[in-house]
Amino acid sequence: MVAAIRFTAALLGFTAAFVSAADEYFEGDGTSYTLGQVSSGNCNFMSAIPSASTNYVALNQAQWDNLAGCGRCIEVSCIDEQCTAKNKTAVVQVLDRCPECAHGALDLSPTVYKEITGLDPNRLTVRWRFVDCPDPGTVQVCLKEGSNANWIAVQPTNGLVGVESVTVNGASTKMLDGAYYYVATTSNADLSAVKVAITSVNGDEISGTYSLTAGKCTDTKKQFGGGSSSQSQSYPTTSAPTPTTATPTATTATPSATSPTQTYSSDASEEASQTGQSSYEQGSQTDQSSQTGSTGQYDQSSQSDATQASSSASTTPEATPATPEATPATPDATPATPEATTATPEATTAAPTTVAPTTAAPEVTIAPTDAPTQSGDTSKCRVRSRHRN
């Protein structure tokens, strides 16, 4: 029982001391200076939290702790009687150091100085403490330019809290002189598979094997626990949602190939042009009878022409044998098709001439009016410039 009580008391004492250290406040002079860009500070950051471009600070030399303060965030407010902005606080990230500043002093960005004091840059008393960084995202591991298989300089950035130590491929590292990089001397290390372990000031550890490229940062997809937490957080990669809207199916059916319906005209010349043959050979039974010598049927189909003929009925049989011989050459001029005779007056006028025994064949041959058409119709050491009052 006594041992249990002692253990509980010790645990409570440790927790109280830890919380006290985490909430420890410092006071000192507050001044202002301008930093051109995030990488220009002594920390030489390759990446920083989003607000660092305007909310930055240079930490005094005494608390700089040989670059160990780089990347930590500070909550600051003005407690000077001259400050017109009362109870105003701002969070800044340590990007630089102030060599001439005394313990507790901060050299702030102009934006933050104006925000917490309400005044133009001067020398006023400020009060501050270390806090978790706002919206840092996930921890990045950056590889310094010039790193190679035998000399690896890594920079952990975007941490929620500060970093205590770093190991590379299981080996301890030392801080690079003048810039925030943890350096490991290796032998033919594979930069595409570097084992990096980062321990925070709270004791959290982020570790993994990463493919590193000189001059670039690699996302660990993890973050330290905040405040007094000792557990790091993992941030799994969120894949882009797969679109659920299906591609609309084309509803327009492919038109069926429909054979064109042939329109049979009474004109024997159209029927002959669709089939490429003589209308007399394909469709006219009357003309076939004429070819075989059935003159009785031929005489019936040609009565209208015989009526118009001025010659005697006795001459028609003499012209009949001549007409079938000329008909295969010019089917449309054959008197056997009454419709063609009616549609084309020219052929009708020529018909009486064809019955003459002496000129029947020549006249039928030269009648072109309805002839079938065959035409086919288908920073290490750096000089810093500061403005300080």
Residue 291 has what pLDDT?
A: 40
pLDDT tens string 193-211: 999 999 999 999 999 999 9
Taking 80 as the threshold, does the pLDDT of residue 339 lie above it?
Answer: no
pLDDT band at 386 (very low <50, low <70, confident <90, very high): low
* Residues 303, 347: Cα–Cα separation, whole Å: 15
User: What pTM was computed for the model?
Assistant: 0.57
Residue 346 has what pLDDT?
A: 43
Write down the CATH number for the domain with range 20-131.
2.40.40.10
pLDDT band at 3 (very low <50, low <70, confident <90, very high): low
Residue 226 has what pLDDT?
A: 72
Dihedral sign, Cα of residue 10, residue 14, residue 20, residue 21: positive
Lowest-pLDDT choice from 45-59, 96-110, 350-364: 350-364
pLDDT band at 251 (very low <50, low <70, confident <90, very high): very low
Beta strands at 89-98 and 205-210: parallel, antiparallel or unpaired: unpaired
Which is nearest to 30 in space by CA: 146, 95, 115, 135? 115
What is the SS3 assignment for 106-136? EEECHHHHHHHHCCCCCCEEEEEEEECCCCC
Is 180 or 247 the better-scoring residue by pLDDT?
Answer: 180
Taking 50 as the threshold, does the pLDDT of residue 306 lie above it?
Answer: no
pLDDT tens string 290-300: 343 433 333 34
Cβ proximity of 130 and 72 under 8 Å: yes
Residue whose tokens read 């001459």: 315
Q: Cβ-count burial of 39 within 10 angstroms (0-12 exposed, 13-18 middle, 19+ buried)? A: middle
pLDDT band at 23 (very low <50, low <70, confident <90, very high): confident
Residue 230 has what pLDDT?
A: 44
Taking 80 as the threshold, does the pLDDT of residue 257 lie above it?
Answer: no
Residue 268 has what pLDDT?
A: 37
Domain regions of the chain by residue span: 20-131, 140-234, 268-365
Residue 199 has what pLDDT?
A: 98
Residue 343, classed as helix, strand or coil, is helix
Tell me the C-alpha to C-alpha distance, in Å, between residue 179 and each of 127, 261, 289, 388: 27, 90, 116, 24
Tell me the C-alpha to C-alpha distance, in Å, between residue 345 and each of 273, 279, 340: 20, 19, 9
Is 174 or 389 the better-scoring residue by pLDDT?
Answer: 174
Lowest-pLDDT choice from 13-17, 63-67, 271-275: 271-275
Q: Cβ-count burial of 259 within 10 angstroms (0-12 exposed, 13-18 middle, 19+ buried)? A: exposed
On average, the pLDDT of the chain sits at 71
- Continuous segment of H or E residues that includes residue 336: none
Residue 269 has what pLDDT?
A: 39
The CA-to-CA distance between both ends of the chain, in Å, stands at 62
Encoding tokens for residue 287?
Answer: 């003309």
pLDDT band at 376 (very low <50, low <70, confident <90, very high): very low
Taking 90 as the threshold, does the pLDDT of residue 179 lie above it?
Answer: yes
pLDDT tens string 125-171: 999 999 999 999 999 999 999 999 999 999 999 999 999 999 999 99
Which is nearest to 332 in space by CA: 316, 318, 346, 311? 346
Neighbouring residues of 208: CB distance < 8 A, sequence distance ≥ 6: 195, 196, 220, 222
Q: Does domain 140-234 have CATH number 2.60.40.760?
A: yes
What is the SS3 assignment for 247-289? CCCCCCCCCCCCCCCCCCCCCHHHHHHHHCCCHHHHCCHHHHH
Residue 302 has what pLDDT?
A: 37
pLDDT band at 263 (very low <50, low <70, confident <90, very high): very low
Residue 328 has what pLDDT?
A: 41
